[in-house]
Amino acid sequence: MKSLRMFALTTLLAGLTLGGPAPAGWNPLAKEQASDQKAASDDAREAIAAFRNKDPSMKVFFDRAYGYAVFPTVAKGGMGIGGAYGKGEVYERGRLVGRSSLTQVTIGFQLGGQAYSEIIFFKDKATLDDFRSGNFEFSAQASAVAATAGASADADYSNGVAIFTLAKGGLMYEASVGGQKFSFTPLR
């Protein structure tokens, strides 16, 4: 909302200063918006590098998966009732195709907070298309593999997905039930 007000004010001032409306296609926030998009890509690239460094055998998933979604930072916290949220990017055959958000609500014994990275590999086009539908979610039974050296060597797909997490910080005690839900917004 703040960016929209700034854009309207800048456009109005430009029109007054130049004696007319702003030129077509002129956007004073274009550099800022491009920088925001680039920053998100940098975060995703750093998260991918961290996963690859932690477990070099994960290369097989990057090479063979039809696509993947990477969430550089997922923040999770709770005290009885908890939640998690993160923003990410979705890739098909190594090419960025959209953005995604992850939300999770949990109920049960839990206390604390933590941050982690998460990557979801899609085995085939059908699974990635299901994710793109915007109604994709994991049940409470879905499990992730903690990325450690060699952990992905024995990992496999379950229902077309393989999920890996990498702890970034924090401490959380948890024995909770809940699933993750994802949204998808294609790039234009």
Q: Which residues of 107-131 are buried (b: 16+ CB within 10 A; e: fewer)?
A: eeebeebbbbbbbbbbbeeebbebb
pLDDT of 159 reads 85
Residue pair 145/161 in contact (Cβ under 8 Å)? The answer is no
pLDDT at 156 > cutoff 60: yes
Question: What does the alpha-carbon distance between residue 27 and residue 16 come to, in Å, rounded to a whole number?
Answer: 16
Average pLDDT over residues 73-86: 88
Q: What's the farthest any 2 CA atoms get from each other in the chain?
A: 67
Whole-structure pTM value = 0.72
187 by DSSP, 3-state: which? coil
H/E stretch holding 12: helix 2-18
Could you count the other beta carbons within 10 Å of the beta carbon of residue 77? 17
Per-residue confidence band for 80, with pLDDT thresholds at 50, 70 and 90: confident
Q: Which tens digits make up the pLDDT trace of 92-135?
A: 998 999 999 999 888 777 788 888 899 999 999 999 999 999 77
Q: Which tens digits make up the pLDDT trace of 24-78?
A: 544 444 444 444 444 458 899 999 999 999 888 889 999 999 999 999 999 988 8
- Catalogue the E-assigned strands of 93-160: 95-122, 145-146
pLDDT of 168 reads 86
